[in-house]
Amino acid sequence: KKKHTRPTFTGHQIFALEKTFEQTKYLAGPERARLAYSLGMTESQVKVWFQNRRTKWRKKSALEPSSSSQRAGGSGGERVASETEDDEYNKPLDPDSDDEKIRLLLRKHR
């Protein structure tokens, strides 16, 4: 068996992927196929790159509000509102009784 190797992307490919990501966080099938073809990549490489990039983007977005409030003079003992909201976000939802909560979370994370 051949060992799976991680693909290395050229600077040009990464630049094009980042520029596309700035414009849209999700690619539909035809857009993904077009981008993959133009960059000499497979569709699955583009798909996985976008999945990984969205994860990185979400983590960065989640950290920004709490880090800015700490810099503004918040003491270490206080819980930041975004941390409390994250706790709410991570709790399991009951699809039968949490309709409003689900709508709020979906609206917040668009």
Name the nearest CA neighbour of 105 among 97, 96, 90. Answer: 90
Whether 105 has a pLDDT exceeding 80, the answer reads: no
pLDDT of 45-102, one tens digit each? 999 999 999 999 999 888 876 554 444 544 445 444 544 445 555 555 555 555 565 5
- Whole-number Å distance between alpha carbons of 65 and 10: 33
pLDDT of 36-51, one tens digit each? 999 999 999 999 999 9
Going from N- to C-terminal start, the domains of the chain cover: 8-59
Name the nearest CA neighbour of 13 among 50, 61, 55, 58. Answer: 50
Name the nearest CA neighbour of 67 among 80, 78, 77, 86. Answer: 80
How much is the pTM? 0.55
Q: With the CA atoms of 18, 22, 24 and 25 taken in that order, what torsion angle do they form, in degrees rounded to the nearest 10? A: 70
pLDDT of residue 19: 93
CATH architecture of 8-59: Orthogonal Bundle (1.10)
Whether 35 has a pLDDT exceeding 70, the answer reads: yes
pLDDT of residue 52: 93
Write the CA distances from 76 to 8, 62, 66, 84, integer angstroms.
41, 18, 11, 15
pLDDT of residue 31: 92
